Structure 1
Amino acid sequence: MRLSFLCHEFPPTGGGAASALDHFTRVLVKRGHRVQILTIGLGAKTLRETLDERQIIRYGVGRRSMLSPTTTELLRSYWALRHRSKRDLAEFKPDCSVAFFAFPAGHALLKQRRRLTGPMAVSIRGSDIPGFSKKRWGLFQWLQPWLVRPVLEGADRVFANGETLATLTRAFAPHIAVTSIPNGVDTQQFSPADRAVGAHDGPLRVLSVGQLIPRKQVALLLAGAALLQRPLEITLAGSGPLEEPLKAQAAQLPPPIKVHFCGHTQREAMPQLYRAHDLLVHLSGAEGVSNVALEALASGLPLLATPQALGPEFVGSRGVMVLHDPNEAALAEALLTLDSQRQRLGQMGHEARHFAERFDWQRAAAQFEAQMSRLWLA
């Protein structure tokens, strides 16, 4: 099939959804499909390239932010995906088109003539569905249902990154059929270190990966660490509006606790970053199937996480310790337990890798392929 994908972010911009789109489309090309990606680049210049046999067009709208776009940048992205994509869709002639995020890409794709797009699918990624994160839309929260509902109703297929997002989508639009296709992970790129996690005499090495925003609850990690009466090394990989307040909080921690802010980390550096740590603490208040969680598990890194950061796909993993009541004391107790039981931590790392091997991009691509093939043939 000839497949067009629309998304307002694609590496190097964006976060988990952009990374998922990158991995997903690479696999689809290897499975024999022709792929076009229409997205938004940095700066004002539109760039066209062929990357790993995918046609990638990055519309220039003056975007400056590597991660979350500003409201103005998001609206410009919508305009570009809605209007500037027409010519590129007409030239590519897709058999089917897929929007990553109901807005802006889904709404932009909905406004195109079907003779340009072919059958249309939308993939729900998280912040695009009402009920996921109220703070993400800010003052425009009231507008979100009006933008998202027609996309769900107009799409020929609705996918969601995991059962948590599928459930939210069904709650918002009960009459819409939603298929859960969770993210996968590249288990060759993300692999364990040569020695077991925790197999050293130094402090426990804790990693947190994600934007420094309220939903990720990084402040809770630092507050819990403050109660721990032993040395601890914490690495925060990410950037965001809470960086300065978190640095101020870290400066007040007891001397044995060291916090390293390494900022936004390039994708190619992530495998080694995971392997250099003993534990991933993932306290997000809402996620689909998290790339970070899967990458850490594939790297043999145990997880200490909230239920909201994981979803039902992770139930039963012995590489995960779930913090059912995420508070400072409970977090400190969990860190103390894992630090005191290094052999158990190492076994959790082994189980983490074994569990991650269930999640494969080939499997996700095969699910998607089956759905879109039926739609195309119909």
Structure 2
Amino acid sequence: MRVLILCYEFPPLGGGGAKVVAGLSRQLVLDGHEVDILTSGWKDLPPKETIAGAIVHRVRTIRGRADRTSPLELAAYAISVIPTLRRLLRERSYDVCNCHFIFPDGVLIPLMKRWSDIPIVLTAHGSDVPGYNPERFRLLHAVLAPLWNWVVDRADLIVCPSPTLRRLIVSRRPKARTVIIPNGFDPARFKPSSERVPRILAVSRLFRRKGIQDLIEAFAGLDTPYELDIVGDGPNRQALEKQARASKAPIRFRGWLDNDSPDLKALFETSSVFALPSTAENFPVSLLEAMASGTAIVTTKGTGCADVTGDTALLVEPGDVDGLRAALVRLTTDKALRARLGEAGRLRLQQNFTWSHVAVQYVDAFRRASPDRPPSAALSR
């Protein structure tokens, strides 16, 4: 198949969504498909290059940071990408467009439907779905609700990485065609280390829903030689640093690290515990990274986190600081438990979430979205 992937983030920009696009495109190429990626430009990144066999097209935007974007920047991206998108659709005979994020990329679906008959598979990621992150986006989603409905109704098929996200979408648009396909990961990127240090690791954008404030409070109450390392950046960073200083606990903020950073890889592989106490998640890639590293995990029930880890992690209620502290005590004092959970998590990843598994499901979704469309001259495996 010849596939166009549209996503405003692609490494080195962005977070989990960017990693998903990079992994999926790489595997699709390995499986014999042709892939073009249309995304944001950044500083001195070339406007066009081939990465892992996929052709990456970048458009100039007003994006100010590598790790996150503002609503204004998202809107500007959606406008900036239109000429290149129209040109690619005119010049290339794509079999399908896989559009990532309902906002901002999904708003281009009605235009694509006007320009061509290309089937569109829309992948949702979390904050682009009303109700997923109401603390930050309640007002924005309320204002954009008619546009959100319009976009969702025009997608031929919507990929939901978790049952949690599918429930939110279907609760608002019961007739939406959806399929659950998990995010994938390449476990070979990480190798579990036998030399673990007494460290609890958190890797997250620093928004309140990520629960890092709960983790700091829980960790501050521990009597342990462990330290807490927090990787990531975001609007809550200053408040979290102030909270950490007041606790006088050994907490270090490392800032934002690039997806392919050897420092980030080493942190995952050598930490003893990984913590993600979010109140809402879709299908966090950071959990897959911890599982690939064989690192024991504590995370939250009733969120997309539990969809990822199953019973291979200690699960606590979102916002339950005492429960989180008790789970941290268990993990920091029981080496055998850490080893058992770490091995179980890695096995679960290998059996369910490798890109070779996930890409096959995506290709099936692409074909479901276009059952009567003849294949292009591209490979149609």
TM-score (norm 1): 0.92
Aligned partner of 1:52 in structure 2 is 52
* Larger CA deviation: 133-142 vs 271-280: 133-142
Q: CA deviation at 1:123?
A: 0.7
**Superposition deviation, residue 183 in structure 1:** 0.5
Q: 1:71 to 1:138 in 2, by over 3 A?
A: farther
Q: Distance in 2 between matches of 1:331 and 1:312?
A: 15
Task: Tell me, in whole angstroms, the C-alpha distance in 1 between the residues paired with 2:227 and 2:72.
Answer: 38
User: Could you tell me which amino acid in structure 1 is paired with residue 323 of structure 2?
Assistant: A
Going from structure 1 to structure 2, the CA distance change for 1:231 and 1:253 (only over 3 Å counts) comes to: farther
Partner of 1:356: 349
Tell me, yes or no, if structure 1 residue 81 matches structure 2 residue 90. no
Identity rate, percent: 28
5+ residue gaps in structure 2? 373-381
CA contact under 8 A between 1:165 and 1:288: conserved in structure 2?
yes
Written as runs of structure 1 = structure 2, the 5 A alignment for 1:128-143 is 128-137=128-137, 139-143=139-143
CA contact (8 A) 2:7 2:101 kept: yes
Structure 1 match to 2:379: none
Alpha-carbon contact 1:102-1:152 (below 8 Å) kept: yes
- Amino acid across the alignment from 1:149: N
Secondary structure of 1:236's aligned partner: strand
Contact kept, 8 Å, 1:3 with 1:96, in 2: the verdict is yes
Which stretch of the first structure deviates more once superposed, 127-136 or 26-35? 127-136
1:362 and 1:114 map into 2 onto residues whose CA distance is 34
Bigger relative contact order (CA 8 A; separation at least 6): 2
1:24-173 pair list within 5 angstroms: 24-43=24-43, 47-113=47-113, 116=116, 118-137=118-137, 139-173=139-173
Shift of 1:308: 4.3
Q: Deviations over 1:233-290 (max 9, x none)?
A: 0000101111122111111224xx3111111111222322201200111011111121
* Separation in structure 1 between the aligned mates of residue 49 and residue 189 of structure 2, nearest angstrom: 24
Q: 1:5-30 deviations in whole A, cap 9, x for unaligned? A: 11111111111011101000100011
Which stretch of the first structure deviates more once superposed, 125-134 or 305-314? 305-314
Whether 1:251 and 2:245 are equivalent positions in the alignment is yes
The whole-number CA distance in structure 2 between the counterparts of 1:26 and 1:94 is 17
- The answer to whether the 8 Å contact 1:43/1:64 transfers is no
The residue identity in structure 2 corresponding to 1:324 is: E
Deviations 1:280-330, CA, capped at 9 Å, x for gaps: 11011111121011110111011111124545534642x300012532222
- Partner residue, 1:339: 332
For residues 108 and 276 of structure 1, do their structure 2 counterparts lie closer, same or farther at Cα, with a shift above 3 Å needed?
A: same
Displacement of 1:44 in angstroms is 9.7
Query: Structure 2 counterpart of 1:265, which letter?
Result: L
Is 2:121–2:365's contact at 8 Å kept on the other side of the alignment?
no
Shift of 1:143: 2.2
Q: TM-score of the superposition, structure 2-length normalised?
A: 0.91
8 Å Cα contact 1:6-1:81 kept in structure 2: no
Q: Does 1:238 align with 2:223?
A: no
CA gap of 1:238–1:377, structure 2 versus 1, over 3 A, is same
State the Cα deviation string for residues 66-115 of structure 1 (Å, max 9, x = none).
12211221110111233441112212221111110112111113212455
Contact preservation (8 Å) 1:185, 1:294 = yes
Verify the 8 A CA contact 1:103 1:147 in the aligned structure 2: no
Task: Write the letter of the residue equivalent to 1:70.
Answer: S
Contact 2:163/2:304 (<8 A) preserved: no
The answer as to whether partners of 1:280 and 1:303 remain within 8 angstroms in 2 is yes
User: Is 1:218 matched with 2:212?
Assistant: yes
Q: Which residue of 2 aligns with 1:272?
A: 266
- Take 1:312 and 1:253, find their aligned partners in 2: how far apart are those partners? 29
8 Å Cα contact 1:89-1:117 kept in structure 2: no
Mapped partners of 1:98, 1:339: distance in 2: 42
How far apart, CA to CA, are the structure 1 residues paired with 2:316 and 2:306? 15
Look up the match of 1:174.
174
Report SS of the residue matched to 1:252. helix
**Partner residue, 2:12:** 12
Structure 1 residues 277-296: aligned runs within 5 Å: 277-296=271-290
Query: What amino acid maps onto 2:220 in structure 1?
Result: A
Task: Identify which range, 131-140 or 7-16, moves more after superposition.
Answer: 131-140
Structure 1: unaligned runs, 5 residues or longer: none
Cα 1:344–1:74, aligned 2, differ >3 Å: closer, same or farther? same
Partner of 1:261: 253
1:136 Cα offset (Å)? 3.6
Q: Which moved more, 1:87-96 or 1:207-216?
A: 87-96
Provide, for residues 129-167 of structure 1, a one-character-per-residue CA deviation record: whole Å limited to 9, x for no partner: 111112343642312322221122111111111211111
Matched residues in 2 for 1:82 and 1:165: separation?
A: 28
For residue 43 of structure 1, report the CA deviation from its aligned partner. 4.6
1:326 matched to 2:307? The reply is no
Which shifted more, 361-370 or 105-114? 105-114
- Alignment match, 2:192: 192
- Contact 1:93 1:117 survives alignment (8 Å): no
Count of aligned residue pairs for this structure pair: 369
State the AA in 1 paired with 2:357.
R
Task: Name the CA distance, whole Å, in 1 between partners of 2:318 and 2:57.
Answer: 45
RMSD: 2.0
CA–CA distance in structure 2, aligned partners of residues 167 and 312 of structure 1: 15
Distance 1:157 1:193, change over 3 A: same
Shift of 1:45: 8.6
